[in-house]
């Protein structure tokens, strides 16, 4: 139990600091790309769409690497790549083309890391009961989203002090420290791991009502990442306001993670998801009707973050308890790949109706929660996984 506890703590520590640096890097890249060209919102939309093109590559990469490495070992190697790309982002901050290429490569590693971290999560929760898995998932969501909340604020406050390049050096140092922590604690992928997994998990195809919400996670975040800086720019606000609004969304996701740790049981899953659906609807109505004040916008996004975070916690726990470690990596990467054409459609809709671009993330979150509610009603094998849900991311 002691070694397991150390492994869980290492996972929480690494995933938290990775997301702290990644949230700051994403906001910095997005803001710089938005302000490179004065030709409307097309460059930002192009950057966001291209960010998800690597999702077509990740299933094959994960499938290949899973024969030789476990989730923790993959995560270490991908993090070393982010050290280099963070420095490149600082050097090329005034070159639009270089920023777009860097953004593309950064997202390739982000997508690979999301799959490898889900594999690592499956590894650390193996052999635990549903309630324990719920608490680990909730703790991961709370810590990760708190980090993602702080990351954009760091970008907004430290960039003017350190300069663009100085700030990217700081981010590279954080990525390096996390990578070394993962790498130095690596343990070989032993046969006993697969044997244990095979005896405790029955691998099966994911139900469509679970796969679709998993597929919608990244398109939802992509739609959110497009609409938020556009809305901030239209209000005449700056990167600090962008960081505050982004942090509000992360705060909501962190809060729901804490509530899950406190003990939302599987028996109350349907009520839990119903509350998430009501909150997402309330946030959409408030965004539409309330004045465009920074504080009110923050409140809307915090409520939306609670709903989205609740859905992600449930999705994550459901797939972790249905599939073994390698299958989780393949399923997550496949969902990310299939989510790319969905994101293309969403971005085209947003570009065609900029004034209503804000509505798409709200509607996609509502759809995901509604599908999970229907799946919860069926009870099925998901009953053991109802204890939790990032997403995380």
Q: What is the pLDDT of residue 197?
A: 41
Task: Examine residue 11 and state whether it is found in any structural domain, yes or no.
Answer: yes
Spatial separation of the C-alpha atoms in residues 78 and 373, rounded to whole Å? 35
Phi, psi (5° rounding) for residue 296? -65, -40
Say if residues 24 and 155 touch (Cβ distance below 8 Å).
yes
Report pLDDT for 373: 83
DSSP for 308-369 reads: HHHHHHHHHHHHHHHS-HHHHHHHHHHHHHHHHHHHHHHHHHHHHTGGGTTHHHHHHHHHHH
How many whole angstroms separate alpha carbon 164 and alpha carbon 29?
A: 10
Task: Return the structure tokens found at 137.
Answer: 């998932």
Cβ within 8 Å of residue 67, ≥6 positions away = none
Three-class DSSP category at 57: coil
Both structure tokens of 91: 């050097």
DSSP per residue over 205-247, as a string?
PPPHHHHHHHHHHHHHHHHHHHHHHHHHHHTT--HHHHHHHHH
Is 276 part of a structural domain of the chain? Answer: yes
Cβ proximity of 96 and 364 under 8 Å: no
Judge whether 127 lies within some domain. Answer: yes
Complete DSSP assignment for 69-100: --HHHHHHHHHHHHHHHHHHHHHTTT-HHHHH
Q: Is residue 393 part of a domain?
A: no
Angle formed at CA 44 by CA 238 and CA 276, multiple of 5 degrees: 75
Question: What span, in angstroms and rounded, lies between the C-alpha atoms of 364 and 213?
Answer: 9
Structure tokens at 57: 């590559």
Show the domain range for 53. 2-385
pTM: 0.67
In a domain, 17, yes or no: yes
**pLDDT value of residue 36:** 63
- Pull the structure tokens for residue 146: 């708190």
Helices and strands, counts by H and E, the chain: 13, 0
Distances (CA, A) of 367 to 24, 63, 265, 293, 306: 29, 30, 23, 27, 15
Q: How far apart are alpha carbons 221 and 198 in whole angstroms?
A: 33
Residue 160 burial (CB count, 10 A): 11
Distance of CA 353 to the CA centre of its chain: 26
The pLDDT score that the predictor gives to residue 393 is 35
Q: For residue 374, what are its two tokens?
A: 């229907």
User: Are 311 and 368 a contacting pair, CB within 8 Å?
Assistant: yes
391: in domain: no
Residue 390 domain-assigned (yes or no): no
Residue 392 lies in a domain: no
- pLDDT at residue 29 in the model: 85
Number of domains present in the structure of the chain: 1
Q: How many whole angstroms separate alpha carbon 204 and alpha carbon 172?
A: 39
Can you say whether residue 379 is alpha, beta or left, with left for phi > 0 and alpha for psi between -120 and 50 degrees? left
pLDDT in tens, the chain (393 residues): 444 577 788 888 888 899 889 888 988 887 777 776 555 566 677 777 777 677 778 878 888 888 888 888 899 999 999 999 999 988 887 787 888 888 889 988 988 898 888 888 877 777 666 666 667 766 777 777 778 778 877 887 888 888 888 888 999 999 999 999 888 765 554 433 443 443 444 445 677 888 888 889 888 988 888 888 888 878 878 777 887 888 788 788 777 776 766 555 555 677 878 888 898 999 999 988 888 888 899 999 988 888 888 888 778 777 776 777 667 777 777 887 788 788 888 888 888 888 888 899 999 999 998 888 887 776 544 344 333 333 333
Rounded-to-integer distance, Cα 336 and Cα 359, Å? 22
- Residue 196 is part of a domain; what is its CATH number? 1.20.1250.20
């Amino acid at each position: 139990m002691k070694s397991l506890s150390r492994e869980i703590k290492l996972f929480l520590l690494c995933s938290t600091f990775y997301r702290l640096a990644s949230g700051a890097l994403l906001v910095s890249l997005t803001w710089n790309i938005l302000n490179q060209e004065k030709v409307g919102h097309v460059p930002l939309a192009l950057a966001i769409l291209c960010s998800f093109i690597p999702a077509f590559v990740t299933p094959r990469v994960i499938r290949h690497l899973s024969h030789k490495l476990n989730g923790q070992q993959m995560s270490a190697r991908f993090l070393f790549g982010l050290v280099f790309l963070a420095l490149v982002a600082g050097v090329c901050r005034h070159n639009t083309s270089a920023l777009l290429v860097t953004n593309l490569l950064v997202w390739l590693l982000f997508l690979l890391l999301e799959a490898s971290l889900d594999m690592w999560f499956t590894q650390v929760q193996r052999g635990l009961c549903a309630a324990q898995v719920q608490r680990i998932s909730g703790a991961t969501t709370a810590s990760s989203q708190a980090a993602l909340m702080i990351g954009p604020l760091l970008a907004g406050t430290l960039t003017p002090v350190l300069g663009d390049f100085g700030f990217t050096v700081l981010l590279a140092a954080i990525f390096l420290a996390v990578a070394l922590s993962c790498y130095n604690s690596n343990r070989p992928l032993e046969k006993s791991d697969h044997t244990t997994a095979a005896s405790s998990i029955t691998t099966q195809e994911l139900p469509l009502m679970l796969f679709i919400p998993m597929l919608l996670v990244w398109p939802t975040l992509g739609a959110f990442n497009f609409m938020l800086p556009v809305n901030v720019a239209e209000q005449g606000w700056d990167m600090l306001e962008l960081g505050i609004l982004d942090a509000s969304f992360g705060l909501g996701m962190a809060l729901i993670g804490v509530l899950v740790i406190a003990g939302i049981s599987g028996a109350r899953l349907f009520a839990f998801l119903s509350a998430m659906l009501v909150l997402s609807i309330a946030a959409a109505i408030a965004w539409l009707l309330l004045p465009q004040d920074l504080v009110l916008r923050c409140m809307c996004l915090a409520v939306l973050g609670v709903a989205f975070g609740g859905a992600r916690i449930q999705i994550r726990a459901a797939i972790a308890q249905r599939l073994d470690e390698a299958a989780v990596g393949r399923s997550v990467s496949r969902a990310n790949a299939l989510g790319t054409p969905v994101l293309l459609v969403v971005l085209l809709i947003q570009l065609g109706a900029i004034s209503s671009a804000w509505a798409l993330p709200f509607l996609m979150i509502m759809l995901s929660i509604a599908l999970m509610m229907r799946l919860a009603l069926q009870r099925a094998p998901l009953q053991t996984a109802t204890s939790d849900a990032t997403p995380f991311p």
